Chain A
Amino acid sequence: MPLGGRGFVTVGAAVACCALAAACTPEPVPNSTPSTSPTATTPTESQIERQMRLDYDAAENAYRANIAEQDRLARAGGVRQPTAALKSSAEGEYLSAAVTSLAYIKKNGWHGTGNTTILGVAHVGWQKKRVRLMSCEDGSHLRLLDHSANDVTPKGDSRFVQSLSVVRRGGRWRVSAFESKSVRVFEGEQCAA
Protein backbone atom coordinates (compact mmCIF):
# COMPACT_ATOMS: atom_id res chain seq x y z
CA MET A 1 0.00 0.00 0.00
CA PRO A 2 1.90 3.03 -1.13
CA LEU A 3 2.13 6.17 0.88
CA GLY A 4 3.28 9.52 -0.27
CA GLY A 5 2.28 11.95 -2.93
CA ARG A 6 2.35 14.79 -0.47
CA GLY A 7 5.02 17.37 -0.57
CA PHE A 8 6.51 16.01 -3.67
CA VAL A 9 9.17 17.94 -5.43
CA THR A 10 11.44 17.02 -8.23
CA VAL A 11 14.60 18.99 -8.09
CA GLY A 12 16.03 17.10 -11.01
CA ALA A 13 15.05 19.61 -13.63
CA ALA A 14 16.75 22.39 -11.75
CA VAL A 15 19.86 20.32 -11.27
CA ALA A 16 20.00 19.40 -14.93
CA CYS A 17 19.55 23.03 -15.89
CA CYS A 18 22.37 23.94 -13.61
CA ALA A 19 24.69 21.77 -15.64
CA LEU A 20 24.32 24.35 -18.38
CA ALA A 21 25.58 27.31 -16.48
CA ALA A 22 29.06 27.37 -15.08
CA ALA A 23 28.04 29.81 -12.38
CA CYS A 24 25.28 27.58 -11.14
CA THR A 25 26.34 24.95 -8.64
CA PRO A 26 23.66 22.40 -7.81
CA GLU A 27 22.91 21.85 -4.19
CA PRO A 28 24.06 18.40 -3.13
CA VAL A 29 21.28 16.06 -2.22
CA PRO A 30 22.03 13.70 0.64
CA ASN A 31 22.53 10.08 -0.17
CA SER A 32 22.83 10.76 -3.87
CA THR A 33 25.57 11.78 -6.20
CA PRO A 34 24.29 14.23 -8.77
CA SER A 35 26.90 14.53 -11.42
CA THR A 36 27.41 14.82 -15.10
CA SER A 37 29.80 12.24 -16.36
CA PRO A 38 29.92 12.25 -20.14
CA THR A 39 32.26 9.67 -21.52
CA ALA A 40 33.25 9.18 -25.11
CA THR A 41 32.37 5.62 -25.92
CA THR A 42 31.22 3.56 -28.82
CA PRO A 43 27.60 3.04 -27.84
CA THR A 44 25.63 0.13 -29.04
CA GLU A 45 22.68 1.02 -31.19
CA SER A 46 19.75 1.97 -29.01
CA GLN A 47 16.15 1.57 -30.00
CA ILE A 48 15.94 5.22 -30.97
CA GLU A 49 19.13 5.11 -32.96
CA ARG A 50 17.81 2.10 -34.82
CA GLN A 51 14.60 3.98 -35.53
CA MET A 52 16.57 6.95 -36.77
CA ARG A 53 18.58 4.74 -39.11
CA LEU A 54 15.47 3.10 -40.50
CA ASP A 55 13.76 6.46 -40.95
CA TYR A 56 16.75 7.97 -42.68
CA ASP A 57 16.99 5.01 -45.02
CA ALA A 58 13.29 5.10 -45.82
CA ALA A 59 13.36 8.85 -46.42
CA GLU A 60 16.41 8.61 -48.65
CA ASN A 61 14.80 5.80 -50.61
CA ALA A 62 11.72 7.96 -51.15
CA TYR A 63 13.88 10.81 -52.36
CA ARG A 64 15.91 8.64 -54.72
CA ALA A 65 12.75 7.01 -56.05
CA ASN A 66 11.27 10.42 -56.73
CA ILE A 67 14.34 11.63 -58.55
CA ALA A 68 14.31 8.49 -60.69
CA GLU A 69 10.65 9.03 -61.53
CA GLN A 70 11.27 12.69 -62.40
CA ASP A 71 14.09 11.65 -64.71
CA ARG A 72 11.92 9.01 -66.36
CA LEU A 73 9.12 11.48 -66.95
CA ALA A 74 11.50 14.11 -68.29
CA ARG A 75 12.90 11.64 -70.77
CA ALA A 76 9.33 10.74 -71.73
CA GLY A 77 8.52 14.36 -72.59
CA GLY A 78 7.20 15.66 -69.30
CA VAL A 79 3.76 15.59 -67.74
CA ARG A 80 1.08 18.12 -66.86
CA GLN A 81 -0.18 16.27 -63.81
CA PRO A 82 1.76 14.32 -61.21
CA THR A 83 1.84 10.58 -61.69
CA ALA A 84 0.94 8.18 -58.91
CA ALA A 85 4.60 7.28 -58.56
CA LEU A 86 5.54 10.93 -58.12
CA LYS A 87 2.83 11.43 -55.51
CA SER A 88 3.82 8.32 -53.62
CA SER A 89 7.20 9.80 -52.75
CA ALA A 90 6.66 13.57 -52.82
CA GLU A 91 4.15 16.14 -51.70
CA GLY A 92 3.70 19.82 -51.09
CA GLU A 93 6.02 22.35 -52.60
CA TYR A 94 8.54 19.74 -53.63
CA LEU A 95 5.97 17.88 -55.70
CA SER A 96 4.63 21.16 -57.03
CA ALA A 97 8.07 22.30 -58.15
CA ALA A 98 8.81 18.97 -59.79
CA VAL A 99 5.54 19.01 -61.70
CA THR A 100 6.10 22.63 -62.69
CA SER A 101 9.37 21.71 -64.35
CA LEU A 102 7.95 18.61 -65.98
CA ALA A 103 4.97 20.62 -67.26
CA TYR A 104 7.37 23.17 -68.69
CA ILE A 105 9.09 20.40 -70.63
CA LYS A 106 5.72 19.11 -71.79
CA LYS A 107 4.47 22.55 -72.80
CA ASN A 108 7.49 23.15 -75.02
CA GLY A 109 7.38 19.73 -76.61
CA TRP A 110 10.80 18.80 -75.34
CA HIS A 111 12.21 15.63 -73.93
CA GLY A 112 15.20 14.91 -71.80
CA THR A 113 18.22 12.69 -71.98
CA GLY A 114 20.45 11.43 -69.25
CA ASN A 115 20.11 10.67 -65.58
CA THR A 116 20.56 12.80 -62.55
CA THR A 117 23.71 11.91 -60.68
CA ILE A 118 23.31 11.90 -56.93
CA LEU A 119 26.79 12.12 -55.53
CA GLY A 120 25.67 11.52 -52.01
CA VAL A 121 22.92 12.07 -49.49
CA ALA A 122 23.75 13.29 -46.01
CA HIS A 123 21.46 12.63 -43.06
CA VAL A 124 21.40 15.90 -41.23
CA GLY A 125 18.32 16.07 -39.05
CA TRP A 126 15.80 13.73 -37.51
CA GLN A 127 12.48 14.16 -35.80
CA LYS A 128 9.87 11.54 -35.20
CA LYS A 129 7.97 12.21 -38.39
CA ARG A 130 10.38 14.34 -40.34
CA VAL A 131 13.95 14.01 -41.43
CA ARG A 132 16.20 16.40 -43.19
CA LEU A 133 18.49 15.28 -45.96
CA MET A 134 21.14 17.07 -47.89
CA SER A 135 21.73 15.84 -51.40
CA CYS A 136 24.38 16.65 -53.96
CA GLU A 137 22.53 16.64 -57.28
CA ASP A 138 24.56 16.85 -60.44
CA GLY A 139 22.44 17.59 -63.49
CA SER A 140 25.31 18.62 -65.74
CA HIS A 141 24.78 15.60 -67.95
CA LEU A 142 21.08 16.27 -68.43
CA ARG A 143 19.99 17.68 -71.74
CA LEU A 144 16.67 18.86 -73.09
CA LEU A 145 16.03 18.32 -76.77
CA ASP A 146 13.30 19.64 -79.00
CA HIS A 147 11.40 17.74 -81.71
CA SER A 148 14.34 18.11 -84.04
CA ALA A 149 16.77 16.87 -81.44
CA ASN A 150 18.27 20.30 -81.06
CA ASP A 151 19.80 20.91 -77.67
CA VAL A 152 17.54 23.44 -76.00
CA THR A 153 18.87 22.95 -72.50
CA PRO A 154 18.52 26.28 -70.70
CA LYS A 155 21.75 27.85 -69.66
CA GLY A 156 22.30 28.03 -65.98
CA ASP A 157 23.61 26.16 -63.03
CA SER A 158 23.13 22.43 -62.99
CA ARG A 159 24.81 21.37 -59.76
CA PHE A 160 22.83 21.88 -56.63
CA VAL A 161 23.04 21.02 -52.97
CA GLN A 162 19.44 20.34 -52.08
CA SER A 163 18.32 20.64 -48.48
CA LEU A 164 15.27 18.43 -48.24
CA SER A 165 12.54 17.93 -45.69
CA VAL A 166 11.05 14.46 -45.88
CA VAL A 167 7.93 13.77 -43.87
CA ARG A 168 6.14 10.61 -42.86
CA ARG A 169 2.39 10.51 -43.25
CA GLY A 170 0.32 7.37 -43.15
CA GLY A 171 3.41 5.23 -42.93
CA ARG A 172 4.96 6.64 -46.13
CA TRP A 173 7.88 8.99 -46.44
CA ARG A 174 7.53 11.83 -48.93
CA VAL A 175 9.82 14.66 -49.89
CA SER A 176 7.92 17.73 -48.82
CA ALA A 177 10.04 20.86 -48.98
CA PHE A 178 13.42 21.90 -50.22
CA GLU A 179 15.95 24.63 -50.66
CA SER A 180 18.67 24.75 -53.23
CA LYS A 181 22.20 26.02 -53.23
CA SER A 182 23.95 26.29 -56.54
CA VAL A 183 27.55 25.12 -56.50
CA ARG A 184 30.32 24.82 -59.04
CA VAL A 185 31.84 21.79 -57.34
CA PHE A 186 30.63 19.59 -54.54
CA GLU A 187 33.90 19.38 -52.69
CA GLY A 188 33.50 20.32 -49.07
CA GLU A 189 29.78 19.82 -49.08
CA GLN A 190 28.37 17.55 -46.43
CA CYS A 191 26.59 15.41 -48.99
CA ALA A 192 29.70 14.87 -51.07
CA ALA A 193 31.41 12.63 -48.55
Chain B
Amino acid sequence: MRGLILAIVCGAMILLAAPAPASADGPKCNRWTRFCKIASQAEGADAGGTPNAPPRTDKSHRQKPGDRAQEARKEFAAALAVYDRQLARYKRCLRASRNAAACGRAPESPWLGGDSFSGPGNRQITAGQAAAIAVARLQLPTIAPGIGPSPDLNRWNMAAVGYPLWLWADGRTHVGPISDSVGGLSVSLDAKVSSLAFRMGDGHSVTCPGVGQQWTTTVEPGAKSPSCGYSYTKPSLPNGSYTVAAIANWAVTWTSNGQSGVINVPAVDTTELPVGELQVLVR
Protein backbone atom coordinates (compact mmCIF):
# COMPACT_ATOMS: atom_id res chain seq x y z
CA MET B 1 0.00 0.00 0.00
CA ARG B 2 2.81 2.36 0.93
CA GLY B 3 4.52 1.50 -2.31
CA LEU B 4 1.38 2.33 -4.23
CA ILE B 5 1.02 5.68 -2.49
CA LEU B 6 4.67 6.39 -3.11
CA ALA B 7 4.32 5.53 -6.76
CA ILE B 8 1.28 7.81 -7.12
CA VAL B 9 2.95 10.71 -5.32
CA CYS B 10 6.15 10.32 -7.26
CA GLY B 11 4.32 9.91 -10.53
CA ALA B 12 2.52 13.17 -9.90
CA MET B 13 5.78 14.87 -9.09
CA ILE B 14 7.46 13.57 -12.21
CA LEU B 15 4.55 14.76 -14.29
CA LEU B 16 4.70 18.13 -12.59
CA ALA B 17 8.38 18.51 -13.26
CA ALA B 18 8.18 17.27 -16.80
CA PRO B 19 8.04 19.64 -19.72
CA ALA B 20 4.63 20.26 -21.12
CA PRO B 21 3.52 18.13 -24.02
CA ALA B 22 2.45 19.62 -27.28
CA SER B 23 -1.13 19.84 -26.15
CA ALA B 24 -0.41 22.22 -23.27
CA ASP B 25 -1.36 25.88 -23.23
CA GLY B 26 1.66 27.01 -25.16
CA PRO B 27 1.45 29.45 -28.01
CA LYS B 28 0.01 28.12 -31.24
CA CYS B 29 1.02 30.10 -34.26
CA ASN B 30 0.00 30.05 -37.89
CA ARG B 31 2.44 30.91 -40.62
CA TRP B 32 -0.27 32.22 -42.98
CA THR B 33 -2.13 34.57 -40.68
CA ARG B 34 0.88 34.94 -38.38
CA PHE B 35 -1.13 35.11 -35.25
CA CYS B 36 -0.47 33.18 -32.13
CA LYS B 37 -2.89 32.00 -29.53
CA ILE B 38 -2.77 29.95 -26.43
CA ALA B 39 -5.08 26.96 -26.20
CA SER B 40 -7.71 28.65 -24.04
CA GLN B 41 -8.02 31.42 -26.60
CA ALA B 42 -8.18 29.04 -29.50
CA GLU B 43 -11.10 27.14 -28.06
CA GLY B 44 -14.25 28.74 -29.32
CA ALA B 45 -12.51 31.91 -30.31
CA ASP B 46 -13.74 34.05 -33.12
CA ALA B 47 -12.47 32.77 -36.41
CA GLY B 48 -10.78 36.06 -37.09
CA GLY B 49 -9.00 36.19 -33.82
CA THR B 50 -6.52 38.91 -33.18
CA PRO B 51 -3.57 38.84 -35.49
CA ASN B 52 -0.23 39.15 -33.76
CA ALA B 53 -1.80 39.01 -30.34
CA PRO B 54 0.90 37.94 -27.92
CA PRO B 55 0.49 34.62 -26.18
CA ARG B 56 -1.47 35.06 -23.00
CA THR B 57 -0.51 33.33 -19.83
CA ASP B 58 -2.31 33.44 -16.54
CA LYS B 59 0.61 33.93 -14.21
CA SER B 60 -1.54 34.36 -11.15
CA HIS B 61 -2.34 30.68 -11.16
CA ARG B 62 1.07 29.42 -12.04
CA GLN B 63 4.39 28.99 -10.38
CA LYS B 64 7.47 29.85 -12.31
CA PRO B 65 8.81 26.77 -14.10
CA GLY B 66 12.06 27.02 -12.15
CA ASP B 67 10.23 27.01 -8.83
CA ARG B 68 8.12 24.08 -9.89
CA ALA B 69 11.15 22.08 -10.95
CA GLN B 70 13.03 22.86 -7.75
CA GLU B 71 10.07 21.92 -5.60
CA ALA B 72 9.61 18.70 -7.54
CA ARG B 73 13.29 17.86 -7.20
CA LYS B 74 13.11 18.27 -3.42
CA GLU B 75 10.04 16.11 -3.15
CA PHE B 76 11.56 13.52 -5.44
CA ALA B 77 14.75 13.39 -3.37
CA ALA B 78 12.64 12.81 -0.27
CA ALA B 79 10.71 10.06 -2.00
CA LEU B 80 13.96 8.47 -3.14
CA ALA B 81 15.24 8.42 0.44
CA VAL B 82 12.05 6.67 1.54
CA TYR B 83 12.45 4.19 -1.28
CA ASP B 84 16.07 3.45 -0.30
CA ARG B 85 14.96 2.65 3.24
CA GLN B 86 12.17 0.40 2.00
CA LEU B 87 14.52 -1.40 -0.36
CA ALA B 88 17.08 -1.98 2.38
CA ARG B 89 14.35 -3.39 4.62
CA TYR B 90 13.16 -5.63 1.81
CA LYS B 91 16.67 -6.95 1.14
CA ARG B 92 17.21 -7.69 4.83
CA CYS B 93 13.99 -9.67 4.83
CA LEU B 94 15.07 -11.63 1.75
CA ARG B 95 18.36 -12.51 3.40
CA ALA B 96 16.75 -13.56 6.63
CA SER B 97 13.75 -15.46 5.35
CA ARG B 98 13.66 -18.78 3.53
CA ASN B 99 10.23 -17.93 2.23
CA ALA B 100 10.78 -14.86 0.13
CA ALA B 101 7.07 -14.48 -0.43
CA ALA B 102 6.75 -13.49 3.21
CA CYS B 103 8.70 -10.33 2.44
CA GLY B 104 5.94 -9.13 0.19
CA ARG B 105 6.51 -7.17 -2.97
CA ALA B 106 9.66 -5.27 -3.66
CA PRO B 107 9.16 -1.55 -3.03
CA GLU B 108 8.33 0.48 -6.04
CA SER B 109 10.91 2.93 -7.19
CA PRO B 110 9.98 6.61 -7.40
CA TRP B 111 10.99 6.28 -11.02
CA LEU B 112 8.05 4.02 -11.58
CA GLY B 113 4.71 5.36 -12.56
CA GLY B 114 3.93 8.55 -14.33
CA ASP B 115 6.50 8.85 -17.02
CA SER B 116 5.87 11.80 -19.20
CA PHE B 117 5.60 11.84 -22.95
CA SER B 118 9.02 11.44 -24.36
CA GLY B 119 10.71 14.44 -25.79
CA PRO B 120 14.01 16.19 -25.97
CA GLY B 121 13.35 18.57 -23.11
CA ASN B 122 13.41 15.97 -20.37
CA ARG B 123 16.36 13.99 -21.66
CA GLN B 124 18.31 14.19 -18.45
CA ILE B 125 19.28 10.56 -18.02
CA THR B 126 21.62 8.33 -19.93
CA ALA B 127 20.50 5.51 -22.15
CA GLY B 128 21.83 3.01 -19.62
CA GLN B 129 19.86 4.59 -16.80
CA ALA B 130 16.73 4.65 -18.91
CA ALA B 131 17.28 0.98 -19.71
CA ALA B 132 17.68 0.11 -16.03
CA ILE B 133 14.42 1.87 -15.23
CA ALA B 134 12.62 0.16 -18.10
CA VAL B 135 13.93 -3.23 -16.97
CA ALA B 136 12.79 -2.52 -13.43
CA ARG B 137 9.32 -1.86 -14.77
CA LEU B 138 9.36 -5.03 -16.81
CA GLN B 139 7.02 -7.67 -15.50
CA LEU B 140 8.88 -10.87 -16.24
CA PRO B 141 6.76 -14.01 -15.96
CA THR B 142 7.38 -16.60 -13.30
CA ILE B 143 9.56 -19.56 -14.12
CA ALA B 144 8.54 -22.52 -12.06
CA PRO B 145 10.98 -25.41 -11.77
CA GLY B 146 9.86 -28.18 -14.06
CA ILE B 147 10.70 -31.62 -12.64
CA GLY B 148 9.59 -34.82 -14.27
CA PRO B 149 8.28 -37.36 -13.98
CA SER B 150 6.13 -35.78 -11.31
CA PRO B 151 5.86 -37.69 -8.06
CA ASP B 152 2.11 -37.37 -8.44
CA LEU B 153 2.30 -40.00 -11.17
CA ASN B 154 3.27 -42.86 -8.92
CA ARG B 155 1.39 -44.46 -6.08
CA TRP B 156 3.93 -43.35 -3.48
CA ASN B 157 3.79 -39.70 -4.49
CA MET B 158 7.52 -39.33 -4.40
CA ALA B 159 10.56 -39.23 -6.62
CA ALA B 160 12.82 -42.22 -6.34
CA VAL B 161 16.48 -42.34 -5.44
CA GLY B 162 18.53 -43.21 -8.50
CA TYR B 163 15.78 -42.45 -10.96
CA PRO B 164 16.77 -39.90 -13.63
CA LEU B 165 14.74 -36.72 -13.26
CA TRP B 166 14.33 -34.23 -16.06
CA LEU B 167 14.70 -30.58 -15.18
CA TRP B 168 13.47 -27.62 -17.20
CA ALA B 169 12.16 -24.07 -17.02
CA ASP B 170 8.40 -24.27 -16.85
CA GLY B 171 6.92 -21.12 -18.35
CA ARG B 172 7.70 -18.50 -20.91
CA THR B 173 11.38 -18.08 -21.48
CA HIS B 174 11.19 -15.19 -23.92
CA VAL B 175 9.51 -11.81 -23.51
CA GLY B 176 9.55 -9.18 -26.16
CA PRO B 177 10.48 -7.29 -28.00
CA ILE B 178 8.68 -4.54 -26.16
CA SER B 179 9.35 -0.87 -25.78
CA ASP B 180 9.06 1.69 -23.05
CA SER B 181 9.61 5.39 -22.82
CA VAL B 182 11.67 6.67 -19.91
CA GLY B 183 12.60 10.25 -19.29
CA GLY B 184 12.31 11.14 -22.93
CA LEU B 185 14.20 8.13 -24.18
CA SER B 186 12.66 5.20 -25.95
CA VAL B 187 13.97 1.86 -24.78
CA SER B 188 13.53 -1.44 -26.59
CA LEU B 189 13.72 -4.56 -24.48
CA ASP B 190 14.04 -8.21 -25.36
CA ALA B 191 14.29 -10.67 -22.47
CA LYS B 192 15.37 -14.30 -22.72
CA VAL B 193 16.25 -16.86 -20.10
CA SER B 194 19.96 -17.25 -20.68
CA SER B 195 20.76 -19.82 -18.04
CA LEU B 196 19.03 -22.06 -15.60
CA ALA B 197 20.37 -23.68 -12.49
CA PHE B 198 18.81 -25.89 -9.86
CA ARG B 199 19.66 -26.34 -6.24
CA MET B 200 18.43 -29.83 -5.59
CA GLY B 201 18.06 -29.48 -1.84
CA ASP B 202 20.53 -32.26 -1.01
CA GLY B 203 23.59 -30.06 -1.28
CA HIS B 204 24.07 -30.52 -5.01
CA SER B 205 23.47 -28.09 -7.82
CA VAL B 206 22.82 -28.59 -11.48
CA THR B 207 23.56 -25.98 -14.11
CA CYS B 208 21.68 -26.36 -17.37
CA PRO B 209 23.20 -25.17 -20.62
CA GLY B 210 19.82 -23.98 -21.84
CA VAL B 211 16.33 -23.99 -20.45
CA GLY B 212 16.12 -27.77 -20.22
CA GLN B 213 13.78 -30.13 -21.98
CA GLN B 214 10.34 -30.93 -20.67
CA TRP B 215 9.60 -34.47 -19.62
CA THR B 216 6.52 -36.01 -21.23
CA THR B 217 4.74 -39.30 -20.83
CA THR B 218 6.23 -40.45 -24.12
CA VAL B 219 9.70 -40.51 -22.60
CA GLU B 220 11.05 -44.02 -22.25
CA PRO B 221 11.03 -45.02 -18.55
CA GLY B 222 14.43 -44.50 -17.05
CA ALA B 223 15.69 -42.35 -19.93
CA LYS B 224 17.95 -39.48 -18.99
CA SER B 225 17.27 -35.90 -20.07
CA PRO B 226 19.42 -34.98 -23.03
CA SER B 227 20.10 -31.52 -21.65
CA CYS B 228 19.42 -31.14 -17.96
CA GLY B 229 18.76 -33.81 -15.38
CA TYR B 230 19.59 -35.17 -11.97
CA SER B 231 19.40 -38.38 -9.97
CA TYR B 232 19.19 -38.26 -6.20
CA THR B 233 21.55 -40.48 -4.25
CA LYS B 234 19.93 -40.04 -0.87
CA PRO B 235 16.28 -39.95 0.14
CA SER B 236 14.66 -37.02 1.85
CA LEU B 237 11.99 -39.24 3.35
CA PRO B 238 11.02 -39.95 6.00
CA ASN B 239 12.42 -36.62 7.19
CA GLY B 240 10.45 -34.45 4.79
CA SER B 241 11.08 -33.17 1.30
CA TYR B 242 13.93 -31.57 -0.52
CA THR B 243 13.47 -27.89 -1.35
CA VAL B 244 14.37 -27.57 -5.00
CA ALA B 245 15.20 -24.06 -6.17
CA ALA B 246 15.22 -23.06 -9.81
CA ILE B 247 17.39 -20.03 -10.45
CA ALA B 248 16.75 -18.54 -13.84
CA ASN B 249 18.72 -15.70 -15.28
CA TRP B 250 16.86 -13.36 -17.57
CA ALA B 251 19.19 -11.64 -20.00
CA VAL B 252 17.39 -8.46 -20.95
CA THR B 253 18.88 -6.91 -24.05
CA TRP B 254 18.14 -3.21 -24.36
CA THR B 255 18.66 -0.70 -27.11
CA SER B 256 18.17 2.99 -26.65
CA ASN B 257 19.49 6.09 -28.30
CA GLY B 258 22.02 4.18 -30.39
CA GLN B 259 23.38 2.22 -27.49
CA SER B 260 22.72 -1.31 -26.37
CA GLY B 261 23.55 -3.61 -23.54
CA VAL B 262 22.43 -6.52 -21.45
CA ILE B 263 21.02 -6.42 -17.94
CA ASN B 264 20.84 -9.74 -16.13
CA VAL B 265 17.83 -10.25 -13.92
CA PRO B 266 17.82 -13.36 -11.73
CA ALA B 267 14.56 -14.97 -10.69
CA VAL B 268 14.17 -17.70 -8.10
CA ASP B 269 11.39 -20.18 -7.55
CA THR B 270 11.27 -23.16 -5.22
CA THR B 271 9.23 -26.28 -4.79
CA GLU B 272 9.16 -29.18 -2.38
CA LEU B 273 10.08 -32.61 -3.70
CA PRO B 274 9.71 -35.77 -1.60
CA VAL B 275 12.35 -38.33 -2.52
CA GLY B 276 12.28 -41.93 -1.26
CA GLU B 277 13.82 -45.27 -1.93
CA LEU B 278 12.05 -48.01 -3.82
CA GLN B 279 12.91 -51.53 -2.60
CA VAL B 280 12.85 -54.26 -5.21
CA LEU B 281 12.26 -57.78 -3.97
CA VAL B 282 14.01 -60.39 -6.08
CA ARG B 283 13.08 -64.00 -5.56
Contacts and interface: CB of A to CB of B under 8 A. Distances in A.
A174 interface: no
Contacts of A43: 255, 258, 260
Given A5-B271, A10-B142, A11-B94, A48 B178 contact: yes
A34 B22 contact: no
Contact of A125 (B33, B51, B119): B119
B36 interface: yes
B101 A156 contact: no
A4 B146 contact: yes
Interface string B121-163: 0000001110111011010101011111110110000000000
A31 B207 contact: yes
Contacts of B186: 52, 125-126
Nearest to A159: B31
Given A5-B144, A13-B106, A132-B22, A46 B32 contact: no
A20 B32 contact: no
Nearest to A163: B22
Interface string B1-27: 000000000000000000011111011
A68 to B, nearest CB: 13
A177 B47 contact: no
Contacts of A19: 132, 135-136, 263
A139 B35 CA distance: 12
Given A9-B268, A11-B100, A163-B22, A190 B177 contact: no
B52 interface: yes
Interface stretch (B56-64, B69-77, B225-233, B245-253): B245-253
Interface residues of A, number: 93
Contacts of B22: 132, 163-165, 177-179
A23 B22 CA distance: 37
A18 interface: yes
Contacts of A52: 179, 186
B136 A20 contact: yes
B146 A144 contact: no
A31 B273 contact: no
B213 interface: no
Nearest to B37: A97
Contacts of A126: 118, 179, 181, 186
A16 B265 contact: yes
Nearest to B244: A3
Residue in A12, A19, A116, A160 whose Cβ sees the most chain B Cβ within 10 Å = A12
Nearest to B80: A21
Interface string B87-103: 11011001100011101
A147 interface: no
A4 to B, nearest CB: 3
A7 B100 contact: yes
B52 A154 contact: yes
A69 B188 CA distance: 35
A4 B144 contact: yes
B170 interface: yes
Contact of A3 (B103, B255, B271): B271
7 contacts: A14-B94, A16-B265, A17-B87, A17-B106, A97-B37, A124-B118, A127-B118
Interface of A: 1-21, 23-24, 27, 29-43, 46-49, 51-52, 70, 74, 93, 96-98, 100-105, 107-108, 112, 116, 124-128, 130, 132, 134, 137-139, 142, 144, 153-160, 163-165, 176-182, 190
Interface of B: 20-24, 26-37, 39, 42-43, 45, 47-49, 51-52, 80, 84, 87-88, 90-91, 94-95, 99-101, 103, 106-107, 109, 111, 117-120, 127-129, 131-133, 135-136, 138, 140, 142, 144-150, 152-153, 170, 177-179, 181, 184, 186, 188, 190, 195, 197, 199, 205, 207, 214-215, 244, 246-247, 249-250, 254-255, 258-273
Top 9 closest A-B pairs, CB basis? A139-B31, A4-B144, A38-B261, A1-B150, A9-B100, A12-B265, A156-B34, A179-B26, A177-B23
Given A13-B265, A51-B179, A144-B32, 6 more contacts: A9-B268, A14-B87, A14-B90, A36-B132, A132-B22, A132-B117
